[in-house]
Structure 1
Amino acid sequence: MTQERDLKRVEKAEALAHRMDSAFRLPLTRIRLGWDSILGLVPGVGDTLALMPAAYIIWTAHDMGVPMHRKTVMAWNVFLDWFLGLVPLVGDIFDVGFKANRKNAAILRRHFEEKHATAMAA
């Protein structure tokens, strides 16, 4: 039962990361962006608003027992995304390519797979 619950939480974090980082494709390109990039266009406020979904992914990781060193990497990803996003234009371009939420969801997925692979082997 715990494995199913954890899987649903990982999938929810991945869906949120997709919406925030790559929900839309720029026409005539292969470039994907999400609500994080769109919110980032609003000076000052947009990048700060985008912290809430990112914090949710990190909270989910904490609640699922992700080790501190991985949560530190996740927090660094979010900080870098937020801090560089504050720089007009350069931050917006960085935001489109960096995709901190997708990186963090991948860390969460890796933890889930390692945790449950160990449990299945025992």
Structure 2
Amino acid sequence: MKTIRPEQMEQIRTAMPALSNDPAAIRQRVEMMEQLLERSFTLPGVGRKVGLDFVLGLVPVLGDVITGAMGLYIVWEARNLGMSKFQLARMAANVGFDSLIGAVPLVGDAFDFFWRSNSRNLKIIRKHLDRHHPAIRTITM
């Protein structure tokens, strides 16, 4: 098996920006993960967008563990951006609270329908990026 040299890895990162640690690539990955977790599907009859956080939350305990781990990925990416410990703790608390309440049968399912921890965390990350990396700011509607 052939190993990849560090300079080859850098060439791969340059060719595939989604794998890099620059703020624009991190923003793109976090936004995609948030959309997957919070706004992937539209519920028929209700017209409200939901994601894997709601759908997997219907599976007792295991679904909330899986979506909690996916939410913590967003926090990990925020750490890669150099966000403050306070911001990271606030984001981890959002994910923890969502997972804790979401694990309660029925009540947790209704909670996941209305409370979107990953969207809250994305808002915290966007605020940080807009302040510290204004060149990658995007216009949202």
TM-score, with structure 1 as normaliser:
0.87
CA distance in 2, matches of 1:96, 1:48: 17
Higher fraction of helix: 1
CA distance in 2, matches of 1:117, 1:42: 40
Residue number among 109, 113, 116 corresponding to 1:96 in the alignment: 113
Bigger RCO of structures 1 and 2 (CA < 8 A, at least 6 apart) = 1
| 2:100 equivalent to 1:83 | yes
- Contact map agreement 2:37 2:51 (CA 8 A) in 1: yes
Displacement of 1:32 in angstroms is 1.5
For structure 1, which runs of at least 5 residues remain unmatched after alignment? Answer: none
CA distance in 1, matches of 2:63, 2:29: 23
Residue number among 38, 41, 44 corresponding to 1:24 in the alignment: 41
Q: Helix, strand or coil for the counterpart of 1:50?
A: helix
One-letter amino acid of the structure 2 residue matched with residue 49 of structure 1: I
The aligned residue for residue 52 of structure 1 is 69
Residue number among 21, 29, 33 corresponding to 1:12 in the alignment: 29
| 2:88 equivalent to 1:71 | yes
Structure 1 stretches (4+) deviating beyond 3 angstroms? none
For structure 2, which runs of at least 5 residues remain unmatched after alignment? Answer: 1-20, 136-141
- Contact map agreement 1:32 1:96 (CA 8 A) in 2: no
Identity rate of aligned residues, in percent?
A: 33
RMSD across aligned positions (CA) = 1.6
The aligned residue for residue 40 of structure 1 is 57
CA distance in 2, matches of 1:117, 1:25: 32
One-letter amino acid of the structure 2 residue matched with residue 25 of structure 1: T
TM-score, with structure 2 as normaliser:
0.76
- Contact map agreement 1:85 1:94 (CA 8 A) in 2: yes
CA distance in 1, matches of 2:133, 2:103: 38
